[in-house]
Amino acid sequence: MPKKALSPLRWVRLDNAAKIYPAARRKNWSNVFRQSVTLFENVDTNILKSALDITVKRFPSIAARLRKGAFWYYLQQVEQAPDIREEYSYPLTYMSKEETRNCAFRVIVFGSRIAVEFFHSLTDGTGALIFLKNLVAEYLEQKYNIEIPLENGILDRTAPPSEEELEDCFPKNAGPVAYSRKDTDAWHMYGEPQRDGFLNLTCFKIPVKEALALAHKYDSTLTVFISAVMMKALANLQNEKNPNIRRQKRIKLLIPVNLRQLFESRTLRNFAMYVVPEMDTRLGEYSLEEICSLIKHKMGAEITKKHMSSVIATNVNDEQNPVLRLVPLPIKNMVMKAVFNSVGERKSCLTLSNIGQVKVPDIMAKYIKRFDFILGVQAAAPYNCGMLSFGDTVYMNFIRNTKKAELERHFFAVLQGLGLSATVESNRNER
Amino acid sequence: MYCIKCGVGLEATEKKCPLCNTEVCHPDFMQPSAEPLYPSGRLPKSGSGKMAFNGAVIILFFIPLLICFFADISISGRLEWFGYVAGALAVAYVSFALPLWFKNPNPVIFVPCSFASAALYLMYINLATQGDWFLSFALPVTAVICLITSTVVTLLHYLRRGRLYILGGAFMALGTAMLLIEFLIGLTFKIGFIGWSVYPLVVLALFGGLLIFLALNPTAREILERKLFF
């Protein structure tokens, strides 16, 4: 009898950034984010399942399950695509350890929307968007019998994945000198918690042209401008909650930076770092011009190969320490969780992640109404915000686990003060 | 449509302003209805809710236990009948509440556990009342009923088809067990064989036979279904 062939399923070590997420998760919190696309027509789940079956084979590091080794976690390609799930009343429901052990991403359909929720160890926002685009491309090709050109992130789904796509790009781009981790604490937002685990989603839709015109007026990019509006809103909220200026804390915004262009990488794993612009409100009130300038200079100084290499080196040095490598996984988990809880989320008020302008081939665009990018809330802080632009609209998704839309209200007040129009929608109509 | 309080533009899906919670209203026109962004009222099952529910069940079991404990002490001056109450509550907890702690409780495991707890309880009563009926009567009867029930539960749990055969066979086995019960009663309590067990045996055997007949005969099953559906 011939020997049974070894499983052809691929497995990969977690990349440097992915290692913290399994350790940091809690009983009711895991680091999950969502990329979704809304079509003009309702989704046919049978065709989507067929498209998913093909797509998962093309992305072995994303269509994966999280497994435990003796010293580290690793990702193993899933044998088959997961079942398509129905939508709940809120996005990013808790992804349990059991779920990530079986499959660390979900595909959810609601009406004309296809959403994919990823455990952050699989990939970052950019990798996830490429996965979603390819899933949708495969779906549209099967449904409408069209041929979509291989451009704007659409890959040949019949070809095997290249090694470049599966590469952990952190170690090879680590610089010779490690950057210090010392940093100041940020203001910790708070509010009346939503006890039942419900996450409130508020989506702002802002016209791209108007937003860009205003950004240019402030000599900024869209990311810088929106970040400045967010920091202004955060400062106003802190003023409302804590009017005593001398007892106020710094307003800090964590802005993820896609490193693929900077380091010329094509990886589909996590490959992002961040910059954290900050302002000390005890020094006085900042105008929007000042905040824009502050963010712009911070980004200009830090989004460079040299600086990012040194930040990467800090994380990679810890990972490659031979003593730490030999520590068993449960102990590593305890240590990493303790570090994450004491440091991880204290250094910023919230994350504002901008995927940028989403481009798809023209033949595909006519079937697509919108894209959305939704971050999960932080473990200990109530808010997060994901944004992207598609067509002529910026979609900003605020998510929170508190009852009142305080930050959103201040954010809109700042926009309104600038004369920028915005439309909102939410997931809490019946509540 | 715009919010009359904060001025933000509102999508047609919104019934209240998501920012300031003001009702959407305009004296001249109605907000058009649209597909909501997310379905309403569809929530995932909550693990912490389950913990809270199971905790509440434990408290519910403890309340009568404590009341009986103090009542027994104050009435009798010592623990006289409290053990029976505690045993009965323990059997009830093992049978009905313990499986709730598990995500997918397997009845193949929990049914024999329930019978085992019942057997232990009967043994306690036997010892407390200084009876000699446990080994010759209670234990074999519990064991036989446990065997029949566990077999049925296992077959129903793991086999997708043949439910009528399984239930038919179970009723017949239960009828036969009646003969054994009467025999054991006679043996333990020195009562002669009077033959009462023949009546349930006949009824259960007939009912079991009917179920097997229905399993074998789809036409009869369809007629019966047509007549008896509700």
Q: What is the DSSP string of A10-78?
A: -EEEPPTGGGHHHHH-BTTB--EEEEEEEESS---HHHHHHHHHHHHHH-TTTSEEEEE-SSSEEEEE-
Say whether A110 and B39 touch across the interface (CB within 8 A): yes
pLDDT-derived band at A225 (thresholds 50, 70, 90) equals very high
Q: Are residues A121 and A250 in the same domain?
A: no
Partnered with residue A391 across adjacent β-strands are none
| CATH classification of the domain holding A69 | 3.30.559.10
Structural domain ending residue among the three candidates A92, A126, A152 = A152
Q: Are A135 and A36 in contact (CB under 8 A)?
A: no
| Closest of A270, A269, A271 to residue A261, by C-alpha | A271
Question: Is A325 a member of any domain?
Answer: yes
Structural domain ending residue among the three candidates A90, A121, A152 = A152
Q: Are A105 and A63 in contact (CB under 8 A)?
A: yes
DSSP, residue by residue, A108-145: EEETTEEEEEEETTT--HHHHHHHHHHHHHHHHHHHH-
Percent pLDDT > 70 in chain A is: 97
Residue among A87, A197, A405 whose CB faces B39 most closely: A87
pLDDT-derived band at B155 (thresholds 50, 70, 90) equals very high
User: What is the arithmetic mean of pLDDT over A75-101?
Assistant: 93
Least confident of A11-25, A117-131, A132-146, A213-227: A11-25
Query: How far, in Å, CA of B69 to CA of B84, rounded?
Result: 11
Q: How far is CA B166 from the centre of its chain?
A: 20
Cβ contacts below 8 Å, chain A against chain B, sum to 92
Question: Is A292 a member of any domain?
Answer: yes
Q: Are B212 and B204 in contact (CB under 8 A)?
A: no
- Does A425 contact chain B (CB < 8 Å)? yes
Q: Are residues A145 and A87 in the same domain?
A: yes
> What one-character DSSP code corresponds to residue B2?
B
- Does B11 contact chain A (CB < 8 Å)? yes
Least confident of A134-138, A194-198, A208-212, B24-28: B24-28
Query: How far, in Å, CA of A24 to CA of A249, rounded?
Result: 25
Give the chain B residue whose CA is nearest to the CA of A412: B8
Least confident of A146-155, B13-22, B197-206: B13-22
At A342 the pLDDT is 78
Q: Are A108 and A84 in contact (CB under 8 A)?
A: yes
Question: Is A393 a member of any domain?
Answer: yes
Averaging pLDDT over each range in A360-374, B10-24, B27-41, which range is the top one?
Answer: A360-374
At B55 the pLDDT is 87
Question: Is A62 a member of any domain?
Answer: yes
Say whether B19 and A202 touch across the interface (CB within 8 A): yes
At B173 the pLDDT is 95
Domain holding A64, by residue range, is 11-152
User: What is the arithmetic mean of pLDDT over A86-114?
Assistant: 94
Say whether A91 and B38 touch across the interface (CB within 8 A): yes
Residue among B7, B14, B19 whose CB faces A429 most closely: B14
| B154 pLDDT more than 50 | yes
Number of domains in chain A: 2
pLDDT-derived band at A7 (thresholds 50, 70, 90) equals very low
| A3 pLDDT more than 60 | no
User: What is the arithmetic mean of pLDDT over A198-221?
Assistant: 95
| A8 pLDDT more than 70 | no
pLDDT-derived band at B223 (thresholds 50, 70, 90) equals confident
Question: Is A232 a member of any domain?
Answer: yes
- Does A27 contact chain B (CB < 8 Å)? yes
At B29 the pLDDT is 66
Residue among B19, B21, B47 whose CB faces A424 most closely: B19
Question: Is A190 a member of any domain?
Answer: no
The bridge status of strand A272-275 relative to strand A251-258 is: antiparallel
Radius of gyration (Cα) for chain B, nearest Å? 29
DSSP run (H or E) holding A210: helix A208-217
User: What is the arithmetic mean of pLDDT over B106-123?
Assistant: 94
What average pLDDT is seen over chain B? 88
At B50 the pLDDT is 74
Question: Is A263 a member of any domain?
Answer: yes
| B53 pLDDT more than 70 | yes
- Does B42 contact chain A (CB < 8 Å)? yes
Q: What angle do CA A270, A276, A281 make, to 5 degrees?
A: 155
Partnered with residue A387 across adjacent β-strands are A354, A396
What φ, ψ does residue B101 adopt, rounded to 5°?
-70, -20
The bridge status of strand A383-390 relative to strand A393-400 is: antiparallel
What is the identity of the amino acid at B89? L
- Does A119 contact chain B (CB < 8 Å)? no
Q: Are A206 and A396 in contact (CB under 8 A)?
A: yes
| A148 pLDDT more than 60 | yes
For A266-276, what is each residue's pLDDT tens digit?
Answer: 999 999 999 99
- Does A184 contact chain B (CB < 8 Å)? no
User: What is the arithmetic mean of pLDDT over B61-65?
Assistant: 91
At A431 the pLDDT is 47
Q: Which residue has the higher pLDDT, A87 or B45?
A: A87
| A17 pLDDT more than 50 | yes
Note every long-range contact of B127-131, with CB atoms under 8 Å and residues 24 or more positions apart, other chains counting. Answer: B128/B83, B128/B84
Question: Is A354 a member of any domain?
Answer: yes
| B49 pLDDT more than 90 | no
CA distance to A238, A250, A257, A338, B59, per residue, from A25 (Å): 28, 26, 23, 11, 31
Read off the tokens for A384.
Answer: 């997060």
| B51 pLDDT more than 50 | yes
User: Exposed, middle or buried: residue B69 (CB in 10 Å: 0-12, 13-18, 19+)?
Assistant: middle
Q: Are residues A240 and A388 in the same domain?
A: yes
Say whether B37 and A427 touch across the interface (CB within 8 A): yes
Q: Are residues A120 and A208 in the same domain?
A: no
Q: Are residues A142 and A214 in the same domain?
A: no
At A381 the pLDDT is 85
For A388-409, what is each residue's pLDDT tens digit?
Answer: 999 999 999 999 999 999 999 9
At B160 the pLDDT is 79
3-state secondary structure of A203: strand
Say whether B13 and A409 touch across the interface (CB within 8 A): no
Q: Are residues A138 and A208 in the same domain?
A: no
At B43 the pLDDT is 85
Say whether A198 and B36 touch across the interface (CB within 8 A): no
Query: How far, in Å, CA of A379 to CA of A25, rounded?
Result: 8
Query: How far, in Å, CA of B73 to CA of A308, rounded?
Result: 74
What is the b/e burial string over A234-250, where b = at least 16 CB atoms within 10 angstroms of the residue's CB? bbbbbeeeeeeeeebbb
Q: Are residues A207 and A123 in the same domain?
A: no
| Closest of A164, A158, A148 to residue A57, by C-alpha | A158
Q: Are residues A89 and A146 in the same domain?
A: yes
Q: Are residues A266 and A401 in the same domain?
A: yes
Say whether B37 and A409 touch across the interface (CB within 8 A): no
Q: What angle do CA B168, B173, B174 make, to 5 degrees?
A: 100
What average pLDDT is seen over chain A? 92
pLDDT-derived band at B31 (thresholds 50, 70, 90) equals low
Give the chain A residue whose CA is nearest to the CA of B2: A423
ipTM: 0.85
Q: Are A147 and A141 in contact (CB under 8 A)?
A: yes
The predicted model scores a pTM of: 0.74
Say whether A424 and B17 touch across the interface (CB within 8 A): yes
Q: Are residues A245 and A143 in the same domain?
A: no
Read off the tokens for A134.
Answer: 């390819």
- Does A195 contact chain B (CB < 8 Å)? no
Q: Which residue has the higher pLDDT, A6 or B219?
A: B219
CA distance to A412, B176, B191, B196, per residue, from B185 (Å): 82, 15, 7, 12
Residues recorded for chain A: 431
Q: Are residues A253 and A330 in the same domain?
A: yes
| A428 pLDDT more than 90 | no
Least confident of A358-367, B43-52, B157-166: B43-52
| CATH classification of the domain holding A421 | 3.30.559.30
For A37-46, what is each residue's pLDDT tens digit?
Answer: 999 999 999 9
Q: Are residues A130 and A216 in the same domain?
A: no
| Residues of chain A contacting residue B15, judged by C-beta atoms under 8 Å apart | 429
